[in-house]
Amino acid sequence: MNNFARFENQKAIITGASSGIGLAIARRLRAEGATVAVFDFDPKAFAALGAEFGAGHRFLQVDVTDEAQVNAAVAELAGQWGGVDVLVNSAGITGVSAHKTHEITFEDFQRVVRVNLFGSFLTSRAVLPGMVDRRYGRILHLASIAGKDGNAGMVSYSSSKAAVIGMTKSQGKEYAESGVTINALAPAVIQTPLVAAMPAEQVKANTDKIPMKRCGTLDEIAAMACFIVSPETSFTTGFTFDLSGGRAVY
């Protein structure tokens, strides 16, 4: 198989893809032949992305925590495309950081869980019936090393990502005989514009936990994500892949 055309004639939805990790994955999928649809709450980048990606690709303002919006957007695309082959759930927020549990409001905790967990649940639930009917599909949930190890001062984020990992395990087993694989990816800190703007000492505190002593790159996470959702990865489901520079080895 030509790796640079792994997704020829495939249709992919990527959430939270107007910037950062989601955008890097969307670009890689497009480069390998996929037609992509970007779901994002903030449409400011859509005009520029439309010019970059060209005709045929879609950019939809969707709040992934809104059941009606998610269902309507997926139904629209499935109707136009004849089905959805790939879903990558990259939409996520960190919430309040550097605070202990008793300093976190319930509202902040709920907000993070709604985006990170409920959003992944709603989008995957919306695409699954069509994937099962067609006997093919790939779903990838972006988890985090925080969901495996727990990050002090990030109880909302760590809890939500641990829940994403648990959901992935259940979903993978539920659909294991359907031709649909459902996996997660748990990165450590990735070098994004957001990280580049962080204080150097904060970045160092994060990278000191990583045996490779560096951040991951957008190219590295896009490459891993595209491998996971490719037709080649057909005998792995319910699994959480590591992308942590050796921080997690389980």
State the catalytic residues: 157
**Cα(121)–Cα(195) distance, rounded to whole angstroms?**
27
Buried b (16+ CB within 10 A) or exposed e, 64-92: bbbeebbeebbeebbeebebbbbbbbbbb
| Strand order across the 58-61 sheet | 58-61, 35-40, 11-15, 86-89, 137-142, 180-187, 240-243
98 Cβ neighbours under 8 A, 6+ residues apart: 153
DSSP 3-state of 136 = coil
**Cα(83)–Cα(10) distance, rounded to whole angstroms?**
9
DSSP string, 183-246: EEEEE--B--HHHHTS-HHHHHHHHTTSTT-S-B-HHHHHHHHHHHTSTT--S--S-EEEESTT
Among residues 23, 26, 32, 22, the alpha carbon closest in space to that of 12 is found at: 26
**Cα(182)–Cα(169) distance, rounded to whole angstroms?**
8
